[in-house]
Amino acid sequence: MYYLIDILEKPFNMVYSFFIVLSLGIWLLSFLGISKSFSDHSHAINHSSDIHTDNFFGDLFNFGSVPITVWLTLLLFFVGTLGIVGNEFTLSLFSSSTQKIIASIGIFCVSTFLSFKIVSLASKPLSLLFKDYGLAIEANHLVGKIAKASSGKITSSFGQATIEIEGNNIDLAVRVAESSPEIEYGQMILITHFDEEKNIYWCEKY
């Protein structure tokens, strides 16, 4: 145990340790029911499980097949784990601080890329945990309701919004028409209709 703590507290591992602790902390809070990022998923409605995301990033890394919080915490956890493993096996081969800094940058890049690939593979089976979204309320019942943009932006090819139903925060896959302006994070949106074929909601700025 003390050996593990010593590894986590090494200067070159501090950032990776923070990633791991942050991910584990969010998971713990979610499992305890304090955070709704993972819990109460049976109440969710047509979550952004649109695996056929149109943009290049979504197709390459399965971004959007599970909730953003799940995706990001998995990414941080694997970046942290692979980064520490890489540091422990590699940095001892170098003597000067300059060499170690250069090596640590390379390790960060490699661990980040590998983590993207791991999460993209893990997202496929994990998306099955959220396949029951939509059981609580019919999807079309959300048309005309107000939600809040929870992704960095909502475009015609990607977006996520959060709506509160019966005390539960529910993530929705949302899009805007190509002719409409993009919606920024935190802005309120009006859900205009539901696309059953793509399993997404179309919206406009409220």
Instruction: Give the single-character DSSP code of 34.
Output: S
203 sits in which H/E element? strand 200-205
Q: What is the pLDDT of residues 24-80, one digit of tens each?
A: 998 888 777 655 445 444 344 444 444 344 444 555 555 555 677 888 899 999 999
Task: Name the residue with higher pLDDT: 170 or 138.
Answer: 170
Residue with tokens 């003597």: 95
CATH topology of domain 139-205: OB fold (Dihydrolipoamide Acetyltransferase, E2P) (2.40.50)
Q: Tens digits of per-residue pLDDT, 113-168?
A: 999 999 888 877 776 665 544 443 456 678 888 999 999 999 988 899 998 877 77
In 3D space, the residue among 72, 65, 81 whose CA is nearest the CA of residue 16 turns out to be 81
Element containing residue 204 per DSSP (H, E): strand 200-205
Q: What are residue 146's DSSP bridge partners?
A: 190
Task: Give the pLDDT of residue 112.
Answer: 95
What is the rounded average pLDDT of the residues 97-107?
93
What is the Cα 106 distance to its own chain's centre?
24
- pTM (2 decimals)? 0.57
The pLDDT value recorded for residue 63 is 54
Instruction: Please report the pLDDT score of residue 199 as a whole number.
Output: 80
Under 8 Å between Cβ of 206 and 188 = yes
Query: How is the chain split into domains, by residue range?
Result: 2-47+61-130, 139-205
Q: Are 146 and 189 in contact (CB under 8 A)?
A: yes
Q: What's the rounded mean pLDDT across residues 1-14? A: 80
pLDDT at 135: 40
More confident residue, 199 or 65: 199
- What pLDDT does residue 132 have? 46
The answer to whether 199 and 171 have CB atoms below 8 angstroms apart is no
DSSP readout, 114-171? HHHHHHHHHHHHHGGGGTTTTSSS-GGGGTT-EEEE-SSEE-SS--EEEEEETTEEEE
